[in-house]
Amino acid sequence: MIGYVTLGTNDLVRAAAFYDAIAAELETPRMFETDHSVAWGAYGGAPGIGLTLPFDGQPASVGNGVMVAFAARDAAQVDRLHAIALAHGGSDEGAPGPRGEGGAFYAAYFRDPDGNKLNAFVMTGG
């Protein structure tokens, strides 16, 4: 159902470095880049993610209640993604660990340098 998700940024160079590190761990290449946007994913593959300087010229802002989740291979990759995010200017929103009733999934929460809320998770079947 989802084709891709785009998040706004006020500093494309800084944000692209953050997402390049996340994408490298997820083995997801850049699809394209312009002077105002960058996207990661694979044509014909799973949904991708993009960053853009807002086209209206106004500052990018964070959506309250909006979160993008990255599907990880396993709990160890969730741990690595959380650590990568923090090492590249992100902030912690919830350390890696079991979540949901009966630990149905393992997840970590963090924000990118612009404050967009992100999550890395793997279903564990709890």
CATH number, residue 74: 3.10.180.10
Sheet with 117-123: strands ordered across:
67-71, 117-123, 105-111, 91-99
**Cβ neighbours of 4 (radius 10 Å):** 13
The confidence band for 126, taking pLDDT boundaries of 50, 70 and 90, is low
Note the pLDDT of residue 87. 98
For residue 123, pLDDT over 80 is answered with yes
Kindly state whether residue 42 falls inside one of the protein's structural domains.
yes
Kindly state whether residue 59 falls inside one of the protein's structural domains.
no
Kindly state whether residue 101 falls inside one of the protein's structural domains.
yes
Note the pLDDT of residue 85. 98
Note the pLDDT of residue 73. 96
**Number of structural domains the chain divides into:** 1
CA dihedral over 34, 63, 104, 90, signed as positive or negative:
positive
Kindly state whether residue 9 falls inside one of the protein's structural domains.
yes
pLDDT tens-place string over residues 34-91: 999 999 999 888 899 999 999 999 999 999 999 999 999 999 999 999 999 999 999 9
Determine what percent of the chain falls in helix, strand and coil, rounding each to the nearest 5: 20, 35, 40
Kindly state whether residue 60 falls inside one of the protein's structural domains.
no
As beta bridge partners, residue 69 has 119
Task: Please give the helix or strand (H or E) that residue 30 lies within, else none.
Answer: strand 30-33
Range of the domain at 79: 4-54+65-123
Kindly state whether residue 86 falls inside one of the protein's structural domains.
yes
Kindly state whether residue 71 falls inside one of the protein's structural domains.
yes
d(CA 115, CA 125): 30
